[in-house]
Each structure stands twice: as structure tokens, then as C-alpha cells.
Amino acid sequence: ADEGFAFDLAVIGSGPGGYEAALKAAKAGLKVCLIEKGALGGVCVNWGCIPTKALLRSAEIIDLVARSSSFGIMAENVSFDFPQAVKRSRSVVRKLSKGIDFMLQRAGVEVKQGEARFTSPHDLDIVRDGIGVDHIRARSVIIATGSIPREISGLEPDGNRILGSRDALALKTLPSSMIVVGGGAIGIEMAWFYAKAGTVVTLVEMMPRILPLEDAEIALALRRSLEKAGILIYTGAKLERLSSDERGVNCRITVAEEDPIAVHAECLLVAVGVTGNTCELGLSNAGVECSGGYIVTDGECRTSADHVYAIGDVRGGMLLAHKASAEAAIAVASISGKTSEPLDDTKIPRCVYVEPSLASVGLSEEQAVASGFSVRIGRAMFAASGKANAYGNLEGMVKLIFSCKTDRLLGAHVLGHGAVELIGELCLARQLELTARVLAGTVHAHPTLSETIREAAENSLEA
């Protein structure tokens, strides 16, 4: 029945998926309700992208200050005020969360605080502290409930010795030593931040290398940089917790057939990935199906219930904020009766915000070869760049992968200062399916780091 809909659209969750969807739908003229059980902005603003980047900025500054004398700046008695770095990070978060509140209000989105749960395909109960506080009926629903951290048995976070990523973003004091379990983007960013703040960091990854989905050559180059920064890294490694007490945790790390290594640290951070946040949503009451921890959707983000969509982390795929926002646009277009191109994972950038930072888009060399492409590789080192030399950030390179047959860019990998900003040009190149010739023929300003992109493209043509 078409009757009794208080809202055209109910959005569950206010992360970069949910709040973007609510804003876009309101702008399209829909009557929208957004339900959030925590703080506005979701994990991204409150416990993910933003607080990590604010802390990493402090680490970047201490990193620069540590080598400032070569620039003619004498900074003596410099120390890292850890509580202040955390305080600043939390205040950045609060400001952005308030900004989202303001934007939602201005767009006329009705925000309801509480936990949403389907009671029928179009009906949602809103619960606060276990008590039902509201009930809404909406024509369409977008589920944007994000993800929850994966746990490993024996390493369940206790907020004290065993930490989850949230705990690690708001510690009161700087730990003297830390074991980070997980060599993905989050584990690496945390490891680098704490190492720069002064913690002795050991990073343990089960897979044969850190960032197993990234280009092997680039991931290895990043590993070398992290090791230079003092982080002890074990890959292909198994970690067991032996005991924990008031002084910290005792672990055993085993790499292949070698003798086990005993490691003690004040705390251990678990960063082994996440899974879709599908629990307690009453999905079966709406006829929404899940598989492997995520909600099943089609290319338009539509679930097994026609009027219910799922976007962002809860939908699976690449678990990134900008992917969640891009899916918000697709879902809202579909609800408004428009069609849009489904997302292409090979056009979505991936970044690790340490120094040198890593950013990539499209296929790695290994993936391109495994997909049957005959490839031409172009490389250019930042050590040869005038700007990198002037700045004193020499590490890293640009590696571009082109198809021999079409000359088009298949994948781009940048390791170096500012890589996360440089990747924008290469995302556009992927989007427009540009060729090596076009990239090499595009005049870039001198001296800039982006010249290195042009040089890598030219290098591929010389190969």
C-alpha cells in the first residue's frame, strides 16, 4: 500500500554514505529522515578517516622538525605532546560532525537519534537505550550502517592492553611500546603515527607482505620506508598472545619455519579489517538478504527488497569513504528514477597517509598481468625531481601501467610526499581512459611533484 508514508526516504547511518545520500535526496526534493545511533558523520568523521589524518599531521610535523636543522631551522628541546595531539584530533572531529549537522538541517533532512530496526519492509522502529522512542514509515530505505571491526579469538579488545582502532585514537598517555596486528592501511597509519610519537612499534602481518592488494614493488618500497622510520615489521607471521598483565602483553611471533620470537609490549592494537554492520537491523523483516557478512545488492545498490538500498561498507567491496559517497549518488539516482553507471573498482583510489604516502588507482602490475594484459611500465623517481629535492622529500616513485595494445592507463601507483593529492590526476586519467601519449604530452608546471607523473608516462614510451 502506498499510504501512510511519513517520508519518501529513510536513511540509516550518517557516515559518508548516509549523510551524502540524505543531502542528495533532499536536494532532489524528497522528504528525508536520517537515523543515527551515534555521532553524525559515522566512523569516517568520528573514528576513521578524519581523526587518523589529524593525528598523522602531528606525526608529519614532528618528522619534519626532527630534520629541520638541514633547512637552517634550529629547533631545540622539541617534544611530542601526545595528549595535545589527541585533543586536537578530537576537536577537528567535533567541528566536522557539527558541520554535517548544520548541512543536514539546512537541507531540511529530519535527523533522528537512535538505533533503527526494520519491523516490516517499510517500517522502522527507533530505539534508544533499549527503549522504543519512535517509529517511521518510509517509501524507500537506504541502509548505510557501515562496518564493525573484525576480531581474532584470543585478541578481543579490552580497551586496556588489547586495543581496537577506536581505543588507539583516544588514548590518554603515549604507550612506550605497541604491537600492531595487521599490515593494511589502518595498521600502517597507526604504526607510523605511534612510531613518530615515540612508541617502539612492531607490526605483524599474516600475509607474505604488507598491503597485499597493492603493487608488490610499491608495497615493498613503502615497507623499506617504514623500517627506516624504526618500525619492526614481520610478514608471513603468526602471532599468539601468551599472557597479559599490568605491565603489558607477551606474545610469540612465528615466521615460517624459523624459531619463534618473544615480543613484549605495553599494548597491542588489532587492525585486521572489518565486516559489514548488519546485526540487529531486523533485515529479515524487510526481506533483505546478506551474504558473507555484507548486504547483497545489484549495480544500483538495490537489495533483494526492491525499495531498500545498501551503500558504503555494509555493501562490501572496497571499504572506503569516497566509495560510500559515490554509492550514495547511485542509490539516490535510482530512487529518483534515474540510471547511473555502476561503480568501477578500478577507478577508485586507495591511499595510505604516512610519509612517504602511498596512493594508487586501478590494477597493480601483478593484477594486470594476471588479467591477461600485455603491459608497458613507466617509472620515474622523485629523487630526480627538482621540487622533491628543493623540498627535501626524495623518497618514492611514480609507477604507471599501460596496456601495450591500447596504450591506455590500467593502473597508477605513487609512493612519495603528497602522493594522496597527486593521485587525483591519475584518477581522471583512468576515468577518461587516457593513453601514455596524452599523459606524456601534457605540459605540467615546473618545478612540481606532478611532473614526475608526466615523466613516468614518457618513460613507458621509451621502454
Task: Give the footprint of ligand FAD on this chain (CB under 6 A).
Answer: 12-18, 35-38, 42-44, 47-49, 52, 115-116, 144-147, 165, 186, 277, 281, 312-314, 319-322, 324
Sequence letter at residue 139: R
DSSP string of 367-378, one letter each residue:
HHHHTT--EEEE
Query: How far, in Å, CA of 312 to CA of 348, rounded?
Result: 13
Bridging pattern class, strands 350-352 and 147-149 = unpaired
Is 227 among the annotated ligand-binding positions? no
Is 146 among the annotated ligand-binding positions? yes
Is 273 among the annotated ligand-binding positions? yes
Classify residue 371 as exposed, middle or buried by CB count within 10 Å of its CB (0-12, 13-18, 19+). exposed
Nearer residue to ligand FAD within complex by CB, 164 or 378: 164
| Residue found under cell 618513460 | 459
Is 183 among the annotated ligand-binding positions? yes
Q: Are 209 and 220 in contact (CB under 8 A)?
A: yes
Is 364 among the annotated ligand-binding positions? no
Minimum Å distance from CB 10 to ligand FAD?
10
Nearer residue to ligand FAD within complex by CB, 277 or 459: 277
Nearer residue to ligand FAD within complex by CB, 207 or 318: 318
* DSSP state, residue 260: P
Q: Are 199 and 173 in contact (CB under 8 A)?
A: no
Nearer residue to ligand FAD within complex by CB, 47 or 373: 47
Enclosing H/E stretch for 101: helix 82-107
Nearer residue to ligand FAD within complex by CB, 152 or 383: 152
Region label for 162, one of left (φ > 0), alpha (ψ between -120 and 50) or beta (otherwise): beta
Question: Phi and psi (nearest 5°) for 20?
Answer: -65, -40
Q: Distances in Å between the alpha carbon of 109 and those of 19, 74, 106, 117, 245?
A: 10, 52, 8, 19, 49
Sequence letter at residue 327: E
Query: What 3-state DSSP class applies to 174?
Result: coil
Q: Is 446 a catalytic residue?
A: yes
Which of 122, 264, 417, 446 does the annotation list as catalytic? 446
Sorted by sequence, the CB contacts under 8 Å of residue 443 that are 6+ apart come out as none
Is 188 among the annotated ligand-binding positions? yes
Is 385 among the annotated ligand-binding positions? no
Residues serving a catalytic function are 446
Annotated binding site: 53, 145-147, 182-189, 205, 273, 313
Annotated binding site for FAD: 53, 145-147, 313
